[in-house]
Amino acid sequence: MSDLFTRAQARIPGGVNSPVRAFGSVGGDPFFVARAEGAYLETEDGRRLLDYVQSWGASILGHAHPVVVEAVRRAAGDGTSFGAPTRREVELAEAIADRVPSVEKVRLVSSGTEAAMTAVRLARGATGRAKVLKFAGCYHGHLDALLVAAGSGVATLGLPGSAGVTAGTVADTVVVEFNDVAGVDAAFAAHGPDLAAVLVEPVAANMGLVPPDPGFLEHLRAQCSAHGALLVFDEVITGFRVGLAGAQGRFGITPDLSIFGKVVGGGLPLAAVGGPTAVMDELAPLGPVYQAGTLSGNPLATAAGLAVLGELSDDVYATLEARATALTTGLATALGAAGFAVTAPRAFTLGGLFFSPTPVRDYADAKAGDAAIYARFFHAMLDRGVYLAPSAFEAMFPSLAHTEADVARTVEIAAEAAAAVR
Ligand code: HOZ
């Protein structure tokens, strides 16, 4: 065990500040990152790793992109936090609204969890209703109300939920399987007049990668409209990651509220809730729904977010999509040739990998994948210099810094790794 991890464990629960990083489901000790550039991480113990996590998708341009670094450097010289309005908050809100037609107004916060918490409270405040519907395996951060049948770290650790979340806090949470149209209809039949919101990751990316079935999101839109519930797209992962207007732009669906994080903060702690003026103005100070934060709209994070959004274009997404296609088809071919039954889904610029012979449509399918083989494959790849997510319940995030050659080399390494773990 590295000295750093020993010290970390003495002072930080599990030695990490977010559970998936602990390598709990893949085994072994986590590495510590010393620095990163482009597609690569450098670890404290001197390894150079081709990184497909990219801060869980936040670093869409690759690590330490010069435009972002310069923007943050310049912003830092002018002060790092004021707790007062700044010009760049306005510019970032405008930039988001310019790109995402469903968004007229934006409230900036500091993390995806905070954004989801705000969206739930806002939906309840705006509709005067209590219940929220979420999908099993979707993850919306670690707010109590949505920490039921959650993906990401909760799935990684195989937990049913979380200790400390009381029955009362989740009594108004309705859970349905992802892609289950009949389940959605049954939930609306049972709870329609009480449902404030339906929250969904339009592409589920916290139980591995699970794209929506054709018509699923349209059905959610129709049911929400029919029953007066707000449709909330959690685009923390997909926002500005799969297209300029996020997944909603790619699918052509208009949610009532959207949650953004990761890319919108350019790799710094920033997230956002956005939607039409009539709903957003329910937030304090105009409306009765309270929400606040000293670091909200932080000057470094808005600088990074604006720098990244300024670099994104349709050409960028076309390149990312080509990389994601080469990666998923290459991995499927390499692993298939070695005799593994895998499915490697792709949704626009995102990739997934399940050791499962059949397509994965929901959380039950995702959990049926062979996590033990994933763990062995993960380590075989890591030993050869490629860092995939340290959990079978996460996605792959090729960045703009990943070259065609990087992806081709990844596929070659995958063939070698697959043979080694066979
Ligand atoms: N919830 C993140 C993955 N979907 C993991 C966050 C982290 O460990 O940094």
210-238 pLDDT, tens digit per residue, is 999 999 999 999 999 999 999 999 999 99
Name the residue type at position 120. Answer: V
Cβ count near 162 (within 10 Å)? 15
User: What does the pLDDT average to over 122-146?
Assistant: 96
Q: pLDDT category, 263, cuts 50, 70, 90?
A: very high
Evaluate if residue 161 carries a pLDDT over 80. Answer: no
Please indicate whether residue 165 or residue 316 has the higher confidence score (pLDDT). 316
Domain boundaries, the chain: 3-65+313-421, 66-311
Distance 388 CA to ligand 1 centre (A): 13
262 is a catalytic site residue: yes
Evaluate if residue 157 carries a pLDDT over 80. Answer: no
pLDDT tens-place string over residues 236-254: 999 999 999 999 999 999 9
CA angle 134, 135, 139 (to 5 degrees): 85
User: What does the pLDDT average to over 21-26?
Assistant: 94
As a whole-number percent, the residues of the chain with pLDDT over 90 amount to 94
pLDDT tens-place string over residues 308-343: 999 999 999 999 999 999 999 999 999 999 999 999
Evaluate if residue 387 carries a pLDDT over 80. Answer: yes
User: What does the pLDDT average to over 341-353?
Assistant: 98
The catalytically annotated residue of 40, 52, 172, 234 is 234
Q: Is 20 in the pocket of ligand 1 (CB under 6 A)?
A: yes
Per-residue model confidence (pLDDT) at position 152: 80
Q: Is 393 in the pocket of ligand 1 (CB under 6 A)?
A: no
The catalytically annotated residue of 262, 317, 363, 365 is 262
Distance 30 CA to ligand 1 centre (A): 14
Per-residue model confidence (pLDDT) at position 81: 98
Contact criterion met (CB below 8 Å) for 199 and 134: yes
Per-residue model confidence (pLDDT) at position 153: 81
Evaluate if residue 1 carries a pLDDT over 80. Answer: no
Q: Is 21 in the pocket of ligand 1 (CB under 6 A)?
A: yes
Per-residue model confidence (pLDDT) at position 2: 85
Atom 8 in ligand 1: which residue has the minimum CA distance? 18
139 is a catalytic site residue: yes
Per-residue model confidence (pLDDT) at position 124: 98
* Domain at 66-311, CATH class: alpha beta
pTM summary value: 0.97
Distance in angstroms (rounded) separating the CA atoms of residues 264 and 254 = 19
Question: Tokens in use for 291?
Answer: 């929400």
| Residue located via tokens 């810094």 | 401
Distance 271 CA to ligand 1 centre (A): 14
Over the chain, what is the mean pLDDT? 96
Q: Is 384 in the pocket of ligand 1 (CB under 6 A)?
A: no
- CA-wise closest residue to 45 among 31, 58, 56, 59: 31
Evaluate if residue 148 carries a pLDDT over 90. Answer: no
The catalytically annotated residue of 139, 317, 363, 374 is 139
Distance in angstroms (rounded) separating the CA atoms of residues 6 and 344 = 36
User: What does the pLDDT average to over 149-153?
Assistant: 84
User: What does the pLDDT average to over 125-140?
Assistant: 97
The CATH classification number of 3-65+313-421 equals 3.90.1150.10
CA angle 240, 54, 245 (to 5 degrees): 5
